[in-house]
A and B are shown apart, each in its own frame.
Chain A
Amino acid sequence: MANLPENAALRRTLALGPALAIIGIFMLIPVIIMASYSFLEAKSFGGVNWVFSGDAYVQLFYERMLDDSLRLSPGYLIIIGRSVALALVAMVCCLLVGFPVAWFIARQPLRQRNMWILLITIPFWTNQLVRTFAWIIILGRNGVIEVPFRWTGLLAPEQTLGLMYSNFAITVGLTYTFIPLMVLPIYASLEKLDFSLVEAGADLYSSRWETFSNIIIPLSKPGIIAGCLLVFIPSLGAFIQPDLLGGGKNLMLGTLVQFQFSTARNWPFGSAIAMILLAFVVVFLMLYARASRGSKSLEVH
């Protein structure tokens, strides 16, 4: 029996239906509902009153005083700033370590290359919570790092290096968790890189730095951009790392959202922060789309 065109279209719709319905109903609609919640009035113990209110967004910048006047309050802006700053620092750390490692792997024989990639992939797919927890044992009080200091008496029993519950610990956690997402795309673009171009540069007496900045960087740019994005976005919305390693003082956007829903029970405010996080992601994805178009046109030349 020949395929009737409308039959094929019907079959296609039926096949796409379940996946689209599940994601549409349980992902797209929830995000839309959450977006509308951010413009509603908060009920005292979670939930919302169906009355329009911009309070959630006002609360981000201002504090409402007793006489109902507004005063500029930097508290939440500091949390947004901290999230962006730590995500950026983690991204730079990942790039500085990830690029040379990716370069090294790309120069190995094929068999060893695959082995390296497997070794980098394994930790990435193991439980994030558990791997972050491991850093408590390393950075924490009496942890692996502090032990030698105690043995040598450099650290008195009541003293601590204070590595845990700091921005430093969060950065280590983020870098550790997401660095495979930097190495893999850079490796993918370096693997395709035509090394004869690098040699040509060297033969034409360009210095090492010139070869690096004029040949290698432009040719591996798609991988670098993808890697930066893949590290930055999950770092910005991270929950586990700031929660376990940052302690109560060093909130990031992810922990703030969770706090609003579980403890503070201010759903509109929590939704507003989640919307801001989503807005950041959309902006960066758009920048990425533009940048990858740019690097495509570069390849054509």
Chain B
Amino acid sequence: MVVRDNTIPAVAPRLGEKKRRAFGEVPGLRTLAFCFLAFLYLPIGVLVAYSFNDGNIVMVWTGFSTDWYVKVFGNADIRKAALNSVIVAVSATAIATTCATLAALALARGGAFRGKGATLGIITLPLMVPEIVTAVATLVFFSSIGLNLGLGNVIIAHTTFCIPFAFMPIRARLEGMDTTLEQASRDLYASDWETFRLVTLPLLMPGVLAGAMLSFVISMDDFIITLMVAGAGDTTLPVYIYSMIRQGITPEVNAVSSILLLFSIVMVTAYWFTTRQKPGPNAH
């Protein structure tokens, strides 16, 4: 890959020619970009700021206080919902990442076979079907076969839509990976299993980790599918927050929302640095 510096268009003003502004530098573009950033972050800022409101009503500021956070941590229902969220996310991530890793290996290293396109289509299907459709289809399915495993139902639904999210970074990693090391390992009489365990898997690990983090975040954030599928005792944190919003907005909603936001931001930033910082094994 040739690294090209296209930051400054080299349009030098020539003699006798009216000085032209470089094309890329449309006036006001920088301002617009920063306004856009403000648009993205101000709502989050407002949400967090009001979580420190002393009063009962979110929109009427009466003073600074961290009481709502104390209240959130003391709320047994919130703790239970958060625990459910973590149980679901950990289980779904573990199953989805395992399945996705196997599938990605088979697709990237299994050679050409009939139905490869269709296989890829099925694996990425959950990305294409609108969430609300997935939600009601899963509800209809569980009720028609009479499957009632409580939190198990939620875990099944989450695993399904997490698979493509885990699959994508793993597959991208595999495709960017050089096969020469694997070939060298086979040439040195390592068995297939040894090659996989000692060469392929360690090289693939950043992709697996990225896939796992992505599906964990996706599972923790899911709302609509859980809303439709979960029974009364199996609410996750987003579903609980939704019911709080429905009952009337107090800064307690802001406080628990802020905690969830902070969690996602940390996860996404970690994901970013896992996938970006280290150059791939074949980038010499």
Q: Which residues of A approach B to under 8 Å, CB–CB? A: 1, 3, 8-9, 11-12, 15-16, 18-20, 22-24, 26-31, 33-34, 37, 47, 97, 100-101, 103-105, 107-109, 114, 116, 118-123, 125-131, 133-138, 140-144, 176, 179-180, 194-195, 198-199, 202-203, 208, 211, 233-234, 236-237, 239-240, 244, 253-254, 257-258, 261-262, 267, 270-271, 274, 277-278, 281, 285
Q: Does B276 contact A (CB under 8 A)?
A: yes
Q: How far is the CB of A117 from chain B (nearest CB, A)?
A: 9
B131 CB-CB contact with A under 8 Å: yes
Knowing A126-B265, A135-B43, A176-B39, say if A18 contacts B110 (CB, 8 Å): no
- Nearest-CB distance from A38 to chain B (Å)? 10
B17-44 contact mask (Cβ, 8 Å, vs A): 1 or 0: 0001001111001101100110111111
Q: Are A123 and B44 in contact (CB under 8 A)?
A: yes
Contact status A211-B23, CB under 8 Å: yes
Chain B residues contacting A202 (CB-CB under 8 Å) are 11, 20, 23
Q: Decide if B102 touches A19 in the complex (CB within 8 Å).
A: yes
* B47, CB-defined interface residue at 8 Å: yes
B102–A18 CB distance below 8 A: yes
CA of A267 to CA of B144, assembled, Å: 12
B167 within 8 A of A: yes
Contact across chains for B43 and A22 when beta carbons are under 8 A apart:
no
A122 to B7, CA, bound (A): 25
Cross-chain contact A142 with B60 (CB below 8 angstroms): yes
| Cβ contacts under 8 Å, B132 to chain A | 237, 239, 253-254, 257-258, 274, 277
Q: Which residue of B lies closest to A180 (CB)?
A: B40
- B32 adjacent to A137 (CB under 8 Å): no
17 contacts between A and B (CB under 8 A): A11-B106, A19-B102, A26-B138, A33-B137, A47-B143, A104-B29, A104-B30, A118-B272, A126-B261, A126-B264, A126-B268, A136-B245, A137-B43, A137-B47, A202-B20, A254-B224, A274-B136
Interface of chain B, main secondary structure = helix
CB distance from A86 to the nearest CB of B (A): 15
User: If the complex has contacts A140-B59, A261-B228, are A30 and B260 also in contact, measured as CB distance less than 8 A?
Assistant: no
Chain B residues 126 to 158 lying within 8 A of chain A, measured CB to CB, are 126, 128-141, 143-144, 156-157
Task: Please give me the 3 A-B residue pairs with the lowest Cβ-Cβ distance, nearest first.
Answer: A237-B130, A30-B141, A15-B106
A133 to B43, CA, bound (A): 9
Q: With a CB–CB cut-off of 8 A, which chain A residues contact B7?
A: 107-109
The answer to whether B44 touches A121, judged by C-beta atoms less than 8 angstroms apart, is no
Tell me if B130 and A34 are in contact (CB < 8 A).
no
Interface residues of B in 26-81 (CB under 8 A from A): 26, 29-30, 32-33, 36-37, 39-44, 46-47, 50, 58-60
- The answer to whether B137 and A130 touch across the interface, beta carbons within 8 angstroms, is no
Contacts of B25 in A (CB 8 A): 107
Asked if B179 lies at the interface with its beta carbon under 8 angstroms from chain A, I say no
Determine if B129 and A281 form an interchain contact, defined as CB atoms under 8 angstroms apart.
yes
A114 to B277 Cα, complex, angstroms: 11
Interface residues of B (CB under 8 A from A): 6-7, 9-11, 20, 23-26, 29-30, 32-33, 36-37, 39-44, 46-47, 50, 58-60, 95, 98-100, 102-103, 105-107, 110-111, 113, 119, 122-123, 125-126, 128-141, 143-144, 156-157, 159-161, 163, 167, 191-192, 217, 220-221, 223-224, 227-228, 238, 241-242, 245, 249, 253-254, 257, 260-261, 264-265, 267-269, 271-272, 276
Known: A134-B46, A208-B23. A15 touches B40 (CB 8 A): no
B137: A residues at CB distance < 8 A: 27, 30-31, 33-34, 274
A100 and B32 form a contact (CB under 8 A)? yes
Contact between A258 and B228, CB atoms less than 8 A apart: yes
Quote the shortest CB–CB distance from B211 to chain A (angstroms).
Answer: 12
Chain A residues, Cβ within 8 Å of B228:
258, 261-262
Question: How far does the alpha carbon of A93 sit from the alpha carbon of B218 in the complex, in Å?
Answer: 26
Our pick among B46, B102, B161 for the contact of A16 (Cβ within 8 Å) is B102
Least CB distance from B40 to A in Å reads 5
- In the bound complex, residues from chain B placing their C-beta under 8 Å from that of A234 are 130-131
Q: B224, A239: Cβ atoms under 8 Å?
A: yes
Q: Which single member of B24, B105, B130 contacts A278 (CB below 8 Å)? A: B130
Residues of A within 8 A of B131 (CB): 234, 237, 239
Is A15 within 8 A of B191, CB to CB? no
11 extra interface residue pairs, beta carbon distance < 8 Å, beyond A125-B221, A134-B44, A258-B136: A16-B107, A27-B126, A30-B134, A107-B25, A127-B220, A127-B261, A129-B242, A137-B249, A179-B36, A199-B9, A278-B133
> Which residues of A are found within 8 Å of B125, using beta-carbon distances?
23, 27-28
The answer on a CB contact under 8 Å between B141 and A100 is: no
Q: Cα distance A1–B125 when bound, in Å?
A: 37
Q: How far is the CA of A281 from the CA of B130 in the complex (A)?
A: 8
> In the bound complex, how far is the Cα of B25 from the Cα of A31, in angstroms?
49
Q: Which of these, A31, A109, A134, contacts B129 with CB under 8 Å?
A: A31
Smallest distance from the beta carbon of A150 to chain B beta carbons, Å?
11
Shortest C-beta distance, B146 to chain A (Å), equals 11
Closest CB-CB distance, B142 to chain A, in whole Å? 8
Smallest Cβ distance from A60 to chain B, in angstroms? Answer: 16
Distance between A290 CB and nearest chain B CB, rounded to angstroms: 16
| CB contact under 8 A between A33 and B141, given known A19-B102, A107-B7, A199-B9 | yes
Q: How far is the CB of B14 from chain A (nearest CB, A)?
A: 10
Q: A12-B110, A176-B43 are in contact. Are A27 and B129 (CB under 8 A)?
A: yes
